[in-house]
Each structure stands twice: as structure tokens, then as C-alpha cells.
Structure 1
Amino acid sequence: MNRLLVALLAAFDAVLAVAVGLVAALAPLTLLWIFGFGADASWAGLWPAAGRIWQLGHLVPLAISLPEEFTVPLGIDPAAASFAISLAPLALTMFTAIFAFRSGARAATAGAWVVGVLSGAVVVVAAAAAVLATTGNDIAGVEPWQAVVLPALVYTVPALGGALAVAWQNGDDGVVDAVRVVLDRRGGAWPDVPGLIARGTAIVLTALIGAGALLLAVAVLLRGSQIIALFQSAQVDALGASVFTVGHLAYLPTFVVWAIAFIAGPGFAVGVDTVVSPVGTQVGLLPGIPVLGALPESSSPWLLLLALLPVGAGALAGWVARSQLVRDRAGAAGPEPMGARIVVTLGIAVLAGAGAALLAAVASGSIGPGTLASVGPAPGPLALTVAIESAIGAAILLLSPRGRGEPDAAEPAAVATADVAAAGTEGAAEARPRPPVD
């Protein structure tokens, strides 16, 4: 496909991703304006708030400074009137990342992934700069460079990942093919190693996300009464309850990451000097956010068995990689490629840990003043535990001796040699003169 056409399509993808994200942030505010404020407020005043929500959803921290006309009637301490909000609603982040991944993959399929990724990145930078220039206000401020760079990274990194995934599979007549040539020269199983590591890492992270979502659903079901009680204690009308619900949905992926941290072992914080983990739960006075009612009041030693889930995810990744190696080695002579299997095991562990650290980093931050300045999982401990647990599971399947059910790499050659020898014996028998019959 023509490079100019690829660039235009990628630019359109980026514009659409930004537009949908801004509409998703603006729509609830519009409903709030219609049913809550009516003609007493200007609709144009919603745009700065929508822009700030979009920026927060793309990992841009907000510096909140509440004016006296808000703090004095509510009795808020002036020291608590200025604080940061950096805990991102990952639903917006996830939408942009998925959209960007698909855009990068399409550009790679068209054979011009570099042009496509760069085109999308430039458009997002321009859009983020436009949002920054038109959403200034005295209540929520942002650092200008963060407001431009962070949304661009949220789009560009997944787009690059999708492009490289497709380019590795289909080729690109460029950098990716050059890397494959180098690996092909080494021979053996090495050309498949990067793909196996990427596939295994995707399996581990996908399994952890699924397990986290399941744990969150179970917690909501088991402690639904506490969540409803917090909704009722807020004493909000139907409009307020709808706002609460939309906010919870926007932060749903964030809570899933918290559940992953609980499963892996390190747990997460809901404030300074607090922890929620299988080992123990220590929390102080929590804000009346309904979803926090799902937090366990105490822990049990049986919850430590949840750590077997990351081990199982690593074992599944190891089984898939080992099966692929066995299929690729069918018909090849020589021993199994132990060096390649070790590299795949370590690669899955390292990248799974890095992915967990990235998830923890984007799912942690500040949601208010004082003790609320630190919530979410710590990236370092989560990365270490996920790496170790997934490495154990992957090593069990990848580094174990060959089982009876697996074909030996040398078997096909041996069978072929035996068939040739048998055919030669039969031919000699037929050529041997037979004794006369009386």
C-alpha cells in the first residue's frame, strides 16, 4: 500500500481515538449539566473539566487547588485544599492502547509500519497540545510537558507493539527481517525464541488479568452488602448514584490490577502506611467510596494459595512454548535445544515482571490529600513476585526432561534410516535366486 495512504489512515485512527476518548469524558458531564445544573451554568464550562478527565485517563497528574468559596462552606482545612490526583481511570487508557495497537498492526500489514506509527504519534501530540491550550483553569492544573508527552506515549507504545508483532510474523523488508536473518544464521530453535517469549509473556499477563477480574467479581459478590451500605451512606440521588457508577466503571481496570497484586502476594495500599494482601490487611479510616467496601476485613493463610495462579500462568506459557519447540524440531537430528529453552524461560519471567511493574505503575498514585496520597500496588515488589512465580511455572514445563508423549527430535531421522534399510533388505531378498521347485 502507498506510504502516504498508510500515513493518512494512521492519522485518522489517532484522531478517532482522541475524539472518542474526549466524548467519553464529556458525555457524563453533559448529563450532569442537563439534569443537575440546567440553565444556571454554561455548557462551555464543561470542556475544561472534560479535557482534564481525558488527560488524567492518559496518566497526566492533576494538581488540584480548591478555592475558598468551596472549602469554607464545607469546612475543609485550608491545608487539605491543595493536593494531587494521579490515579488514572484506566478504562480511557485501555481504550486508547487497544485502538493504537490495532492501528499499528494495520500499518504493518500494509508494509509501512514505521510511517503509520510516526503519523499516529504526531497527530496525538498535536491533539494533546490542543487540549492543553483550551482547557486551562484555576482548579485543576497540569504540567505542560506531561500533558503532551504522556498521552503520546499511551498511544505510541501500543501502536509500536502491534506493528512489531505483525512485522515479526509477516516480515517488513527492514529492521525486523534483519534481526530474523541474524537469528536464522544461528540455526536451531533460535529464530523462534523472540516470538515464543512474546507469546508466553502475553499468556502470563492475560491469565493474570483474567484471574484479577474474577477475584474482583467474587469480592463484589461476597461483600455486596457493604458496598450498598456505602452507596446509601453517601445520601445521593439517582443522578449522584449514576455519577458514582460511571466513575467506578472508569476505574474498573485499575481495580483489576489491584486484584492482581493481591493474587501475586505483595498486595496494594489504600493510603499511606496501609496494606491489603493475603498475608494481612491493615487499613485505617477509608473514604466513603462504595467499591472500597469490597476490601477484606481480615486475611486467611489459605489466601496464600492464590500465588499458585501466577505459577499456573507461567506453566501454561511454558507448555505452549515447549509444544512449539517440539513441533519445530520434528524431523531435525540432534538433542533438544536446552539453551533456547533457558532463554525463553528467562525472557518470559523478565517480560512478565516488567509488564506487571508497568500495570502497577499506571494503577497507583494519589486520590486526595493526607493519607490518600499513596494508593495502589508498588511496582517493584509486584514485578519481582510475578517474575519469580511465572519463572517457576515456565521452568517446570520448559526445562523438564523430555516426556514419553513428546517425540524425540532424532526419532524421525532414525525411522527414515530404518525404512531405507528395510527396503534395501527386501530388495536383496527379491534379487536372491530361489531354489528350483521339484
Structure 2
Amino acid sequence: MNRLLVSLLAAVDALLAVAVGVGVVLAPVTLVWIFGIGGDADWAALWPAAATIWQLGHFAPVAVSLPAELVVSGGLPSGGAQFTLSLAPTALAAFTAISAWRSGARAARAGAWVTGVVGGTIAVAVVSTLIALSGRASIAAVDLLPAVAGPTLVFAVPALVSAVIRAWNDGDDGIIDALSERLPDDVQEAVDAGARGVAICVAGIVAVGAVVLAILFFARGGEVIALTQAAQADLLGVVVLALGSILYLPTLVMWFAGFAVGPGFAVGTGTAVSPAGTSLGVVPGIPVFGVIPDSTSGWLLLLGLVVVGFGALAGAATRSALLVGPGTDAEPLRPRLVALAILVLGTGAVVAVLAWAAQGSLGPGRLIQVGPEPWLVALVAAAEVAVGAAVVLLSPRGEDAEQPLVRETPATTPTAESRPAPAAAVSPDEFPTTPLD
């Protein structure tokens, strides 16, 4: 396909991703302006509010400066008038990243992945700049650089990774093929198998976090309802709280993924929520925070074995992809070591990025540190995956059990094949007779 056409199609993909993301924010904000504020609404602030939420969802920190009268009426401390909000509603970033992943794969299938990724990235950068310049707010301000760099990177990185993976699998008659040709065949197979293992481990860790969160929602649903009632919100307020909780749902999933891995997460400076123990101070009265347990049991440390199990599963899938044909005396060690390294390092890197996306600042004071510690969660996750994967990848395969056995018999013991065949019986009628004279 023509490179210019691929670039234009990638730019259209990027524009659609941005438009849908902004629309998802703008629609409920508009309803709040109509039904919540009514005739006293300042319509000039509608677009800046929606733009700021969208930028926050793409990891652009928001500097909040509350008016003095609002601080006094809300009973806030004087130091709480100005703070930074950086805990992102990651559902917005997830939508952009998924769209970018599909765009990068399509560009690679068209045979012009570099052009496609560059075209889409430029489109997102241009639109993000326009949104940042037109959506400036006085109470919640976002600097121009993070307002442009955040959405651009959220699109560019998944698009690039997806395009490189597709080009590696299908070939691109370019730099990816040139790189793969320099690698031995067994190393290429190890790279492919290790990448599949990374996908298995990351999906498993995220799934465990989602299951833990779902169980807590079921077990502590009463606390969530009680906090919602304590907020004394009307129907519109309840809808806004529900939509906000949905936007932060991937963030909560990663919190409890870190909980399952072991290190857990924090809900303020000096706090910890982990299987080893929970230490909480005053938790903000946000309804969704009702799922956070007040105490934990040491038995929950066994959740780490689930992560080890996913490492073993990934190791088994990786090893089955590396198995050579029958008749080979032994498996080569090099591809297994390469696959193990890619599996462990890749899992740690992806988990670190996801954990970083789920942490930030939620307000002034102790709330400047909320979420998991990225490097610690990634290190423990990589170690647990390494244990499970190494046991499966590096253990003996048991070739003796898979190859047919040949039993050797002593030379002194004649076998059925070595015994001489018995002489055939001769009937009396077959004896020669000589006539008597």
C-alpha cells in the first residue's frame, strides 16, 4: 500500500481515538452543566473542564488552586488550597492505547509501519496541542508540555510496539528483517516464545487483580453504599460518582494486582495495604475506596503462588514452542535461557509501566502518594515469574522416557531369533527303501 495513504489512514485512526476519548468525557460533563448547575452555569468553563479531565487521563498532572471562599466553606486547611492531582483515570489512556495498538498493527500489515506510526503520532501531537491551548482553566491548570507529551506517548508507544511485533512476525523487507537475519534461528524462536510468555504472565497478573477487586466489591459492597449515602449526593451526583469510578477501574485493578503480587499499594504517605498487613489512617470518603480492606490475613501471601503458577504456565508454553523434532538427543540450552530472560525482563518492564500508570497524587498532605510502588511491584513480580518459569524451562525434559527402550540381552542366553530352527519331522513313508534281492 502507498506510504502516503498508510500515513493518512493512521492519522484518521489517531483523530478518531482522540475524538472518542474527548467525547466520552464531554458528554457527562455537559449533562452536569445542564442538570446540575442549570441557569447559573458558566458555559465558558465547560470545554476547559472536559479538556482537563481528558489530559489527566493521559498522565498530565493538574495543578489545582482553590478559591479562598471555597476553602473556608469546605473546612479545608489553609495548605489544602493548592495541590497537584496526578492520579490518572486510566480508562481514558487504556482506550487510546488500544486504538494505537490496532493502528500500529494495521500499518505493519500494510507494509509501511514506520510511516503509519509517525503519521498517527504527529496527528495526536497536533490535536493535543490544540486541546491544550484552547482548554486552559484557571482553577485546574495543566502545563503545555505534559498536556501534549502525555497523549502523544500514550498513542506512540503502543503503536510502535504493536507495529514492531507484527513486522517481526510477518516481515517488513526492512530494518526488522535485517535484524532478524542477524540472529540465529534458535534465538529468533526464543524471542517469539518469550514474548508469548510475557503476554501470558501480564494477562495473568492483571486478571488476578481484577478477581481480587471483584471479590472485595462483593464482600464490602455495604461500605461502598454507606460512603455513597454519606456523600448526600442527588441522582446526578450518584451518576457522576459511578462514572468516575468506572474511569478509575483499571487503576484499582492494578492496585490489587500489586496486592496479589505482594508489595501492595498505599492510600497516602506512610500507609500500606498488602497481604503482609494493612496500615491505614484517615481514608478519603470516596465511595469506591470502600473496597479497601481494614485488615488482611497472612494467608493472602499465598496469592504470590498464583503469580508463580502463571510463570510456570508461561514457561510451559514457551518450552513447547521451543521443542525440537523427535529423534534429537537433547534440547539446546541457549534458546531456553534467552526465552527465560525475555520472559522475566519483559514481564517486569510491562508491570512497572502499568504500576506507574496506577500511582500518583490525589490531593494535598498525605494524599500526595497513592497507589503501588512501581519498581518494587515490578521486581517482585519478575522474581515470582522467574521462579515458576525457570523450574519448567530448565528442568530435564525426560528424553529417556520419551524415546523407545531397547532391551539388551546377555550373549550367553540365546534368544528366539538366535536359536537354530528345529529339524523338520520326517514321516516313515519318506524314508528311501531298497528292494531286496
Q: Do both share a fold (TM > 0.5)?
A: yes
Match of 1:198 among 195, 198, 219: 195
Deviation at 1:400, TM superposition (A): 0.9
Q: CA 1:386–1:35 in 2, change beyond 3 Å: closer, same or farther?
A: same
- State whether structure 2 residue 256 is matched by structure 1 residue 259: yes
| SS, match of residue 103 in structure 1 | helix
8 Å Cα contact 1:30/1:43 also seen in 2: no
Q: By how many angstroms is 1:407 displaced?
A: 5.5
| Whole-angstrom distance in 2 between the partners of 1:118 and 1:232 | 49
State the alpha-carbon separation in 2 of the partners of residues 21 and 366 from structure 1. Answer: 22
Q: How many percent identity over aligned positions?
A: 50
| Cα distance in 2 for residues equivalent to 1:255 and 1:405 | 49
Partner SS state of residue 256, structure 2: helix
Query: Counterpart of 2:263 in 1: which secondary structure?
Result: coil
Question: Secondary structure at the residue paired with 1:84?
Answer: strand
Within 2, Cα distance between the matches of 1:376 and 1:19?
Answer: 29
Give the CA deviation at 1:143. 2.0
Q: TM-score, length-normalised on structure 2?
A: 0.90
What's the CA shift for 1:34? 1.8
1:385 equivalent in alignment to 2:357: no
Taking the aligned partners of 1:332 and 1:122, their CA distance within structure 2 comes to 53
Q: Partner of 2:418 in structure 1?
A: none
Hey, what does 2:109 align to over in structure 1?
109
Greater CA radius of gyration, 1 or 2?
2
**In structure 2, do the counterparts of structure 1 residues 405 and 123 end up closer, same or farther at CA, with 3 Å as the change threshold?**
farther
Conserved? CA contact 2:212–2:256, under 8 Å: yes
- Match in the other structure for 2:265: 268
Q: Establish whether residue 208 from structure 1 lines up as the match of residue 208 from structure 2.
A: no
For residues 100-179 of structure 1, the aligned pairs below 5 Å read 100-179=100-179
Corresponding residue for residue 364 of structure 1 = 359
In the alignment, which residue of structure 2 is the partner of 1:51? 51
Greater displacement, 34-43 / 126-135: 34-43
Q: Deviations over 1:219-240 (max 9, x none)?
A: 1101111111111111111111
Matched residue SS, 1:173: coil
Runs of 4+ in 1 over 6 A off after TM superposition: none
User: What SS does the aligned partner of 1:210 have?
Assistant: helix
Are 1:351 and 2:351 counterparts? no
Q: TM-score, normalised by structure 1?
A: 0.90
Q: Using the TM superposition, give the Cα deviation of residue 332 of structure 1 relative to its aligned residue in structure 2, in angstroms.
A: 7.0
1:198-237 aligned within 5 A = 198-237=195-234
CA distance in 1, matches of 2:343, 2:381: 10
User: Greater shift after overlay, 355-364 or 102-111?
Assistant: 355-364
Q: Distance in 1 between matches of 2:188 and 2:400?
A: 25
State the SS of the aligned residue for 2:88.
coil
Deviations along 1:36-78, one digit per CA (max 9) or x if unpaired, are 1223214342100100011000010100001123223223223
1:397 to 385, 392, 405: 392
Number of equivalences: 407
Letter in 1 for 2:392: L
Structure 1 distance, partners of 2:85, 2:45, is 21
Q: Structure 1's 380 and 213: CA in aligned 2 closer, same or farther, altered over 3 A?
A: same
Q: Deviations over 1:281-324 (max 9, x none)?
A: 00001110111111111121210100011101111111111111
Supply the distance in 2 between the matched residues of 1:351 and 1:159 (Cα, whole angstroms). 17
Higher-helix-fraction structure: 1
When residues 127 and 400 of structure 1 are mapped into structure 2, their CA distance, relative to the original with a 3 A threshold, is same
Does the 8 A contact of 2:17 with 2:96 survive in 1? Answer: yes
Question: Using the alignment, how far apart are the partners of 1:137 and 1:350 within structure 2?
Answer: 41
Tell whether the 8 Å contact from 2:190 to 2:322 is kept in structure 1 after alignment. no
- How far apart, in 2, do the equivalents of 1:63 and 1:153 lie? 21
The superposition leaves residues 377-409 of structure 1 with CA deviations (integer Å, 9 ceiling, x where unpaired) of: 00111011001000011111111101369857x
Paired amino acid for 1:341: R
Partners of 1:191 and 1:284 in 2: CA distance: 51
- Displacement of 1:194: 1.5
Q: Note closer, same or farther for the CA distance 1:246–1:111 as it changes in structure 2 (3 Å cut).
A: same
Inter-partner Cα distance in structure 2 for 1:72 and 1:298: 35
In structure 2, what is the Cα distance between the partners aligned to 1:403 and 1:24? 56
- 2:369 equivalent in structure 1: 374
Cα gap change, 1:124/1:23 in structure 2, threshold over 3 Å: closer, same or farther? same
Q: What's the CA shift string for 1:174-206, capped at 9, x where partnerless? A: 1110111111xx34x212122112111111000
- Structure 2 CA distance, aligned partners of 1:286 and 1:53? 23
Q: Give unpaired runs (5+ residues) of structure 1.
A: 416-437
Rounded to whole Å, the distance in 2 between the matches of 1:278 and 1:331 is 46
Which amino acid letter does the alignment assign opposite residue 228 of structure 2?
A: F
* Structure 2 segments unaligned to the other structure (5+ residues): 407-429, 431-437
Task: Supply the distance in 2 between the matched residues of 1:143 and 1:27 (Cα, whole angstroms).
Answer: 24
Distance between the aligned counterparts of 2:329 and 2:164, measured in 1? 32
Deviation at 1:16, TM superposition (A): 0.3
